[in-house]
Chain A
Amino acid sequence: MHAEKQHHAFEPKLVAFVCTWCTYAGADLAGTSRMHYPSNVRVVKFPCTGRIDPVFILRAFQKGADGVLVSGCHPGDCHYMAGNFHARRRFAAFRQLLDFVGVDLDRLQFSWVSAAEGGKWVEVVTELTERIRQMGPMREFRELDAEEHWSAQLDEPEIRAAYNAIP
């Protein structure tokens, strides 16, 4: 795959939380097979998707990730028997929370990529990169941050007077 190098205005920041035994190994296989894909993703390795706390996903978005990928072993194939089932259940509930909060669920993707599926890793990452590129940068958390800063730095005359009145 030696496609023409395209220059884009926006390069999305993607984080992938993957399990060591399946998806990380699948990504390694993609490397060993010299398959090419966009360089936007940063991989964080876990022993199992069962270890992934939803807080990590939130933090990733807060720190500027435009898209998050969580990927593990296929159901039934978890190296630790059932970790991926717990992950699946946890994230089903978490997605509803995120939706309620107002995050576009298209920015968060779950996939099952096995150690033999180098090609699938490439597919998942490429599709996600292009989708997030179309969606544009994630502004929600940054706007929230800015709001908080702004209100903390409010310098109205009443507040100044109250401050000066403190004995």
Chain B
Amino acid sequence: MSRIGVFVCHCGENISRTVDVEKVAEASRHLLGVAHACDYKYMCSDPGQALLKKAVAEHKLDGVVVAACSPRMHEKTFRKATVQAGLNPFLCEMANIREHCSWVHEDRDEATAKAIDIVHMLVERVKRNRKLQPISVPVTKRALIIGGGIAGIQAALDIADCGHQVVLVEREPSIGGHMAQLSETFPTLDCSQCIMTPKMVDVANHPNITLHTYSEVEEVDGYIGNFQVKIRKKARSVDMGKCTGCGVCMAKCPQKKIPNNFDQNLGMRSAIYVPFPQAVPNVPVIDRANCTFFKSGKCGVCQKVCGPGAVDFEQQDEFVVEEVGAVVVATGFKLYDISEKPKGSPIKGYGEFGHGKIPDVIDGLTFERLASASGPTGGKIIRPSDGKEPKQVVFVQCVGSRAREKGISYCSKICCMYTAKHTMLYKHKVHDGQAYVFFMDARTPGKGYDEFWRRSIESEEAVYIRGMVSRLYQKGDKIVVMGSDIAVGIQVEIEADLVVLATAVQPREGADQLAQKLGISYDQYNFYSEAHAKLRPVECATAGVYLAGACQGPKDIPDTVSQASAAAAKVMTLFAKDQLEREPIVAKVNERFCVGCFACKKVCAYGAVEEKEIRDRQGNLVKVVAYVNPGVCGGCGTCQATCPSKSVELDGYTDEQIMAMIETL
């Protein structure tokens, strides 16, 4: 006969305000198999847990139901307490009478009745719980980092400095990400590349870091501690082992007018190129789509002039499988595209701003390239259309952000600061220029941020107009900006030489596909979901995958670096042990009943089902049955629902446990 203990938590007032907790305890006392029921103000606290342990000993309990918050909150806490009380942790269940009851219903009678029902369900379940033992799996102490921007670089250095192996995968030919494109960073006005390139070089030189640039993640298999990641190393057409980085190939390449993505298509590059002079690795790549040799078979000059003979037109994409224990996702962001149909996105562009067709209407990153000393104009702020110096520049904030009608409700966090920075960069270069900023609010929460922002108004004489811009159109060689000044209450029109839009921050192209490969959650904007918004900001719900940087949500460089170090710390926690204990929620096959149809094998997404031969004592083959590898099984239970003979069971979610819950209806 079961002896279940029911502990009903008040959760301060969170539950007891709406649910009559004493009544729930009283009703539970009358359930068959319940040996003890009580209520307490804070079950998760030290005295609460002590109460649980004392009750287990005193009443000789063999199962525990804690009626409190969501198991997603405190199941681990109470299972630990149950172990300390001397019971198997899986003999402890939580009845969610807070998130699913007291917090969502108003009527006390209804909520109490529902709470009683919920506790009844879990009591019946726990009676059928088995004493499951954790499964130990070895941990591969290597980390994979996807993305070589400042987030990926920081995480890589932190983990590598601890003595662990790191594999860093970057899609572009060089690491650096968007930070490498910036001119100066707020609030210090540090030269971006000056502070970043030493870190980039550290990554390249670090003995513990394997760098795969111009590479992408193809497939991810496995689980925490044991991932197998297939990486496609795209063909550079240059042998990295031979190239010395001399640059003669680029100088001699006859194709010189290909728009350079790194320079936001303002600058040009050759077909064989490095994206920027400080590229790491400093090995060029051939852009086969635009290379004369690959298009027509003629040319091949780069190969002829290459001293070490590093140019290899025959090179193919290479596949590498890396075995790692943890994955850090640091894929960063892109800027919102104001054109008519932004690529791969249902979010609308800006017809009223000319759909991206007016050449002197640019975005923030393009302005950075203009201002950058190593940019296409050598740091001169000029109009893309005619190269003239703009004397009136209008900056427009919140383009796409905070705009429900455009499909983006969030604030992009960094634009108030970088626009203030842009007004300063502009004024430092064009002393007789005038900057106007149309803004809604000034969001400057960081250290030294508000002071920096005020500087742009007080020292740099930027004119800030609180109001939105309704339309931009070309008039002669100027752009007319129609906006409003709500402080004064009038419509404003400015004829600008250059307009810079602070466009919304969005996740990169392909973010959703990568998430599906990794099995991690993402929101409606494709930002990756953290495990808990407040308390677990760098972990995913999927164990073993961690997040760093703007791929999780818009953020500036200090927060990105913090988050990257935090993700690295989580990885190091994982690597601190040699063996990882896996939750024993795995499937087990009943070999007596199994007929070997392998329907389970067909539906198993993890490939955990193997074939096992059953032989008699003479060694003759009796039958071949299914066997589930407990180290690989993901614990979804699809096999059990598929099995026609009910020969496989998911420990922790057996038919008996579930049916017992339904029977209480």
Contacts and interface: CB of A to CB of B under 8 A. Distances in A.
Contact of A50 (B105, B106, B521, B636): B636
Label chain A's interface by main secondary structure: mixed
A46 B637 contact: yes
B118 interface: yes
17 contacts: A27-B100, A28-B70, A28-B96, A36-B106, A39-B111, A43-B96, A44-B662, A46-B637, A51-B637, A51-B638, A51-B653, A63-B662, A76-B516, A79-B521, A81-B606, A86-B638, A116-B524
A59 interface: yes
Contacts of A42: 114, 117-118, 121, 665
B524 A86 contact: no
A92 B524 CA distance: 27
Interface string A31-47: 11011110100111111
A27 B99 contact: yes
Contacts, number: 148
B98 interface: yes
B635 interface: yes
B103 interface: yes
Nearest to B114: A39
Interface string B615-646: 00000000000000000001111101110000
Contacts of B606: 80-81
A47 B653 contact: yes
Interface in B571-617: 585, 603, 605-606
A64 B663 CA distance: 10
Given A39-B113, A80-B636, 6 more contacts: A13-B665, A24-B70, A42-B118, A42-B121, A47-B635, A50-B638
Those 3 A-B pairs whose CB atoms lie nearest each other, nearest first: A31-B99, A51-B637, A50-B638
Contact of B662 (A30, A59, A80): A59
Contact of B521 (A43, A82, A115, A122): A115
Contacts of B405: none
Interface in A82-118: 82-83, 86-87, 90, 114-116
A115 B529 contact: yes
Contacts of B634: 80-81
B104 interface: yes
A60 B100 CA distance: 20
A124 B635 CA distance: 27
A61 B661 CA distance: 13
Interface in A12-26: 13, 15, 20-22, 24-25
Contacts of A122: 104
Contact of A24 (B72, B117, B662): B72
Interface in B91-111: 96, 98-101, 103-107, 110-111
B655 interface: yes
A109 to B, nearest CB: 17
A21 B104 CA distance: 20
Interface residues of B, number: 52
A90 B650 CA distance: 18
Contacts of B519: 79-81
A137 to B, nearest CB: 13
A46 B529 contact: no
B358 interface: no
A50 to B, nearest CB: 3
Contact of B665 (A25, A63, A79): A63
A65 B121 CA distance: 14
B441 interface: no
Contacts of A64: 665
B362 to A, nearest CB: 33
Contacts of A55: 655
Interface of B: 70-72, 96, 98-101, 103-107, 110-111, 113-114, 117-118, 121, 512, 516, 519, 521-524, 529, 541-542, 585, 603, 605-606, 634-638, 640-642, 650, 652-653, 655, 658-659, 661-663, 665
B651 to A, nearest CB: 11
Given A15-B665, A60-B662, A83 B605 contact: yes
B107 A39 contact: yes
A160 interface: no
B480 to A, nearest CB: 41
A34 B14 CA distance: 11
A52 B529 CA distance: 26
Given A27-B99, A47-B585, A116-B524, A34 B104 contact: yes
Contacts of A24: 70, 72
A60 B106 contact: no
Contacts of B524: 116
Contacts of A47: 585, 635-637, 650, 652-653
Nearest to A34: B103
Given A24-B72, A31-B70, A81-B605, A48 B637 contact: yes
Contacts of A65: 665
Nearest to A27: B100
Given A27-B100, A36-B105, A63-B663, A50 B111 contact: no
Nearest to B70: A28
Contacts of A36: 104-106
A16 B23 CA distance: 25
A55 B96 CA distance: 25
Nearest to A30: B104
Contacts of B521: 21-22, 77, 79, 114-116
A17 to B, nearest CB: 9
A114 to B, nearest CB: 7
Given A42-B117, A76-B516, A31 B662 contact: no
Contacts of A77: 516, 521-522
A140 interface: no
Most chain B CB within a 10 A radius of its CB, from A51, A63, A90:
A51
Contacts of B663: 59, 63
Nearest to A53: B641
Contacts of A114: 521
A142 to B, nearest CB: 13
B72 A28 contact: yes
A79 B663 CA distance: 28
Most chain A CB within a 10 A radius of its CB, from B72, B101, B655, B663:
B72
A117 B375 CA distance: 44
Contacts of A50: 603, 636-638, 641
A86 B643 CA distance: 12
Nearest to B657: A44
Contact of B661 (A5, A13, A44, A115): A44
Given A31-B98, A32-B103, A53 B655 contact: yes
Contacts of A22: 521
A50 B605 CA distance: 11
B233 to A, nearest CB: 25
B638 A80 contact: yes
A59 B512 CA distance: 38
B640 to A, nearest CB: 6
A39 B100 CA distance: 9
A90 B638 CA distance: 11
Contacts of A52: 641
